[in-house]
Amino acid sequence: MAKVTIIEVAKHAGVSKSTVSRVIRGEYSSVNPVTRDRVMQAINELGYEKNAIAGSLRTNETKMIMLIIPDIVNAFWPEVARGVQDALEINGYTMVLSCSDWERSKEQRLLMQARNGLFDGIIINPASISEKELLDCKIPSVILGYHEFFPEIDMVGNDTARGTELVLNHLYELGHRKIGFICGVSMRSTSNRRINSYMEFMKKKDIEIERDYILQCHYGQENGYDAMKQLMTLQEPPTAVYAGNDILAIGALKAAKELGISIPGSCSLAGMDDIYSSSVTSPTLTTVAKEKYKVGWQAAVFLLDRIRSKEGFIPRKILFPPTLVKRESTGNI
């Protein structure tokens, strides 16, 4: 009943605990095959199981990585998490998933745990912490998503600016010039960048920017709904609307239906993220697919890399190019 330790195994096999330890850790090269077998047998007979905690105390590594995301319920993150997990797993690491809920206090509490030596690394989509706070953890880390304020840290995300451009260009090519923009506002800088992308595109195409066409709101379906109603009741409503994410677009679609506006007949509509739901509405939504799994995977790869070769890299940044998913909600003017 009392749990069996390496020492008892050693006694039972008639060797020293050092030898048992070597066998456990798979350091076969330096232990005689026949004693190895004897030890193995002792392990099986006694039902020995290694105490990972004790090992970690000595080696200073836990083979566990903490992944901090704002919210698992949000459809985007689970797939990223899967990428992280799969990449870690084949390298013998375990993923620990936690949510910050965009709350500073939770985020800090989680980081604190990491500092306590429980994790060998952190992959985080930062909600409110600063680069300094992260660096202070003295633990290898990788940033998820585009964040301009973390110059020193590895980063992997999606090139949303490029995504915006893809959508706008698609609408432009369909003949649209009056393009509304329902822009989600997040805690960090992402959404302003999107507005910039929009502005730039318009400038590049020599389209005058109509302030009323740009609406900022939170990322909820009802916000998309409200925004769409607002856009459609302008004296001169846009002929196409780009919503900052699919949830907003779904809300917008609902508004259009209520107003009797045919999509894409009277107005084209496009979203971003390519969540599953956007493929089951009627009409199905044109949107931009971001890399999710791949982002998670790459983040894990970067992190493991850092963990293994401690020093002196320059920070690496990867933004994956998103792809346009053309569906039914966009059409010629």
Query: CA nearest 67: which of 34, 41, 89?
Result: 89
Q: Cβ closer to a copy of itself: 179 or 227?
A: 227
| CB 142, CB 156: distance < 8 Å | yes
As measured in angstroms, the least distance from the Cβ of 252 to a copy of itself is 12
| CB 88, CB 304: distance < 8 Å | yes
Cα 42 from Cα 14, distance rounded (Å): 9
Q: Cβ closer to a copy of itself: 257 or 294?
A: 257
Q: Which does 32 bind (CB under 5 to 8 A by kind): a copy of itself, DNA, none?
A: DNA
Question: Would you state the structure tokens that stand for residue 114, as one six-digit string?
Answer: 């990491």
**DSSP H helices in 267-308:** 293-308
In DSSP terms, 287 is beta-bridged to 325
Q: Which does 187 bind (CB under 5 to 8 A by kind): DNA, a copy of itself, none?
A: none
Cα 37 from Cα 19, distance rounded (Å): 12
Q: Which does 72 bind (CB under 5 to 8 A by kind): a copy of itself, DNA, none?
A: a copy of itself
C-alpha torsion sign, points 305, 307, 309, 314: positive
**CB-neighbour burial class of residue 235 (10 A; exposed 0-12, middle 13-18, buried 19+):** exposed
Amino acid type, 201:
F
85 lies in the site for a copy of itself, by CB under 8 A: yes
Q: Which does 14 bind (CB under 5 to 8 A by kind): a copy of itself, DNA, none?
A: DNA
Cα 53 from Cα 161, distance rounded (Å): 45
Query: Within 46-85, which residues bind DNA (CB under 7 A)?
Result: 48-51, 54-55, 57-59
Cα 86 from Cα 153, distance rounded (Å): 22
Name 14's Cβ contacts closer than 8 Å, sequence gap at least 6.
38
Query: CA nearest 269: which of 239, 227, 230?
Result: 239
As measured in angstroms, the least distance from the Cβ of 76 to DNA is 38
As measured in angstroms, the least distance from the Cβ of 93 to DNA is 16
196 lies in the site for a copy of itself, by CB under 8 A: no
Q: Cβ closer to a copy of itself: 89 or 152?
A: 89
- Interface with DNA: number of residues (CB under 7 A): 30
90 lies in the site for a copy of itself, by CB under 8 A: no
Q: Which does 303 bind (CB under 5 to 8 A by kind): DNA, a copy of itself, none?
A: none
Question: Would you state the structure tokens that stand for residue 177, as one six-digit string?
Answer: 């010039």
315 lies in the site for DNA, by CB under 7 A: no
Could you tell me which stretch among 75-83, 142-150, 294-302, 323-331 binds a copy of itself (CB under 8 A)?
Answer: 75-83
Name 151's Cβ contacts closer than 8 Å, sequence gap at least 6.
131, 315
Cα 138 from Cα 151, distance rounded (Å): 16
As measured in angstroms, the least distance from the Cβ of 21 to DNA is 3
Q: Which does 160 bind (CB under 5 to 8 A by kind): DNA, a copy of itself, none?
A: none
As measured in angstroms, the least distance from the Cβ of 199 to a copy of itself is 31
- Binding interface with DNA (CB under 7 A): 3, 5-7, 14-19, 21-22, 24-25, 29-32, 34-36, 48-51, 54-55, 57-59
* Contact residues: a copy of itself, CB under 8 A: 49-54, 56-57, 62, 64, 72-73, 75, 78-79, 81-82, 85, 94-99, 112-113, 115-118, 250, 253-254, 257, 276-277, 280-282
